[in-house]
Amino acid sequence: MTTDSAPRDPGAPFARAATRLRSALSKAESWPGMAAARPTLAAGIDGIDRARAGLSGSLWILLLGGTGVGKSTLLDALAGRDIAPASVKRPTTLRTTFYAHRDADLSPLGDVPPGAGELAAHDIEALREKVVIDPPDFDSAVDANRARLMPLLDAADLVIVVADGEKYRDEALHELLARYRGEKAFLFVMNKLDLGLPDAVREDFRAALEGAGFEEPRMLAVSAREAFEARVGGRDPGEGAGDLIELERIIAEELDRARIREIKAANLSGIAAHVVAAFDSGVGAGARERLSAWSGRCREIARGVSSRLGARFSRAVLGARGKPRADELRTYLHGLQMFSFGGVFGVYLALSERLRALLGRAWSRPVDAIEARALAEARVRSVDNDAVGLDIANASAAATAEFAASGLAVDAARSRLAPSRTGLCAGGAAREAARGASEALEDLTASGLGASRFNLRDLVYNLIPTLLLLAIPAYAGYSMVTHKVPFGRPADAGLLALALIVAVSYLQAALVRRAFARGSARALLDIEGRMSARLGAYVERGLVAPCDSLARDAGAALDDIDAARAEIGKS
Ligand SMILES: Nc1nc2c(ncn2[C@@H]2O[C@H](COP(=O)(O)OP(=O)(O)OP(=O)(O)O)[C@@H](O)[C@H]2O)c(=O)[nH]1
Ligand SMILES: [Mg+2]
């Protein structure tokens, strides 16, 4: 059994983080800040990949400073020969010098090929894994210099900031320090010690650095010129060269393989954190909250437009709320109930209803089930298409405007929520309303508005009329036995019984009609409810679902950013 486990690749979490960030960038359309910063963010991710690939490579040491502070002179002093042109002319360095071991692999510099500068090769074993770079300045009148410098600065692991007694507080320098602090290791060298470096100046520099967030900055003071002159004269740099020997010791000994790895790993974490922070600022503060608030607003907007559409169609089909139309539909619903009764009372109701219709007392012409449905559908078609179209367009515009108000990209919402894209339209809404009304009528017809053929209600209403009806033959029989005729004078009693049947039924019918009026009103509400439900589902599909999918995609970008953050946290 082996206890060995595969060596952990320190770059792996960063590779995964880069993948997630690329995926986030591909979903940037809803986040205006991210879309705008796309090139910078993409370059940032490339930077993570580059730094990750360079984890086991050479240490890139960059001399950073304004023009004339003595960067090239310092490199010449370290090399002990004249490899980087240094002069009183400002600026002097236009081409970068790479001071590197002859076996060094310079390819990780990627888009900064050594062709952009000179390679000064050496075979000093202690410097095998270190490349010292003397780049152009960042503050001279030659703008191209800064452009040449920046990719080198991006690639650098250790930045040796070179300053002199006059140039150490410049804004341009401190901007760069603020930008790269946390992403690189830093060492600060004050040059031109031979010209005198008052303690006050050193302390002022230290204070400026501490103010910029560098805790206990490591500072050295040298005279590059003295050191260079000593070296080319075959002497060791003496006291006049200041901390030059210490600087050489740091570069040659202190920066051993372990320390290089440590610096590179810390820098990689810093770079990745910086890129994630750039993504965060691309989506802005409270992104998830804004997104979910927007989703909530979409639902409100959808509810609003559903109820507007429901009101429009139900007004057309059923009349204004509270005072439904006394019309064929209502007559139909009333009739459904009227003809649902059985027994003697049912016969009375049917007859009286026909009579009322004949006498013109019914509300309107009776219609059958097919006609009733056709009527409802025709009324749906009478609704103004333009008004419905406007309701829909307004709702989609409102959802789009809310998206923008939540700090999201209006174009993304516009293209994903446009009715032409989601399929919401006046014709579709009318189809749903008509389907709802006709389904409701179908169900109401099938159920006879809830009245089954035989029930307690039938029994109660038929009780007295049936007893009275039975009383007539009973009395006729009795009369036959006693008077030998079925009725004779007592026929009056039979007539009385019939009259009673009619009277009782008449009273009962009045009660029943009132109950049926309520039943019809409920049935109208059923129709309205069914239309609203269908319209609601239609708007749900056509507005809420696209809003949700937009929010999901925008949220997926946030998930990717969070996942990248977690990966970096694991490293
Ligand atoms: N007195 C003094 N002069 C120095 C020292 N180091 C450099 N110089 C002088 O300062 C001037 C500029 O030096 P460079 O090394 O060219 O400066 P640089 O930072 O490379 O300048 P650019 O290439 O223009 O960015 C030259 O005249 C150097 O001789 C030093 O330690 N003491
Ligand atoms: Mg120079």
Those residues with Cβ within 8 angstroms of residue 168's Cβ, 6 or more apart along the chain or in another chain: 190, 201, 204, 205, 208
pLDDT of residue 540: 97
Nearest CA to ligand 1 atom 32: 192
pLDDT bracket for residue 5 (50, 70, 90): very low
Q: Which residue did the predictor score with more confidence, 295 or 6?
A: 295
pLDDT bracket for residue 223 (50, 70, 90): very high
Phi and psi torsions of 59, nearest 5°: -90, 125
In this structure, how many other beta carbons lie within 10 angstroms of the beta carbon of residue 26? 11
Structure confidence by residue, pLDDT tens digits, 391-447? 999 999 999 999 999 999 999 999 999 999 999 999 999 999 999 999 999 988 887
- Answer whether residue 7 shows pLDDT above 80: no
Distance CA 41, CA 564 (A): 13
Those residues with Cβ within 8 angstroms of residue 286's Cβ, 6 or more apart along the chain or in another chain: none
d(CA 73, ligand 1 centre) in Å:
6
Q: Is the pTM of this model over 0.85?
A: no
Structure confidence by residue, pLDDT tens digits, 134-181? 999 999 888 889 988 998 998 899 999 999 999 999 999 999 999 999
Q: Which residue did the predictor score with more confidence, 344 or 279?
A: 279
Identify the CA nearest to 130 among candidates 152, 154, 149, 157.
157
d(CA 66, ligand 2 centre) in Å:
9
pLDDT bracket for residue 323 (50, 70, 90): low
pLDDT of residue 118: 85
d(CA 556, ligand 1 centre) in Å:
53
Structural domains present in the chain: 59-254 (3.40.50.300), 287-570 (no CATH)
- Answer whether residue 457 shows pLDDT above 60: yes
Q: Which residue has the tokens 């007392």?
A: 361
Q: How far is CA 252 from CA 126, 257, 320, in A?
A: 5, 11, 92
Q: Residues with beta carbon inside 6 Å of ligand 1?
A: 65, 67-73, 86-88, 90-93, 136-137, 191-192, 194-195, 223-225
pLDDT bracket for residue 343 (50, 70, 90): confident
Distance CA 54, CA 154 (A): 12
Task: Identify how many contiguous H helices and E strands the chain contains and give both numbers.
Answer: 21, 7
- Answer whether residue 522 shows pLDDT above 90: no
Distance CA 408, CA 400 (A): 9
Identify the CA nearest to 177 among candidates 217, 148, 223, 224.
217
> Which of 62, 63, 64, 72 maximizes ligand 1 atoms within 8 Å of its Cβ, making it the mutation to test the pocket?
72
Please give the mean pLDDT across all residues of the chain: 90
Phi and psi torsions of 95, nearest 5°: -120, 140
Q: Which residue did the predictor score with more confidence, 517 or 210?
A: 210
Total residues found in the chain within this entry: 571
Q: How far is CA 284 from CA 174, 192, 549, 562, in A?
A: 26, 46, 21, 14
Distance CA 197, CA 164 (A): 8
Q: What ligand is nearest to the CA atom of residue 65?
A: 1
Whether the CB-CB separation of 385 and 427 falls below 8 Å is answered with yes
Mean pLDDT for 53-68 is 94
Q: Which residue did the predictor score with more confidence, 492 or 432?
A: 432
Distance CA 124, CA 121 (A): 9
Mean pLDDT for 481-507 is 78
The atom of ligand 1 lying closest to the CA of 88 is 27
In this structure, how many other beta carbons lie within 10 angstroms of the beta carbon of residue 4? 5
The atom of ligand 1 lying closest to the CA of 65 is 19
50-54, 62-66, 455-459: which has the minimum mean pLDDT? Answer: 455-459
- Answer whether residue 114 shows pLDDT above 60: no
The distance of Cα 560 from the centroid of its chain, to the nearest Å, equals 12
pLDDT bracket for residue 262 (50, 70, 90): very high
d(CA 92, ligand 1 centre) in Å:
9
pLDDT bracket for residue 1 (50, 70, 90): very low
Residue 348: what residue type?
Answer: Y
Mean pLDDT for 491-507 is 84
Q: Which residue did the predictor score with more confidence, 55 or 473?
A: 55
* H/E segment holding residue 29: none
Mean pLDDT for 297-323 is 89
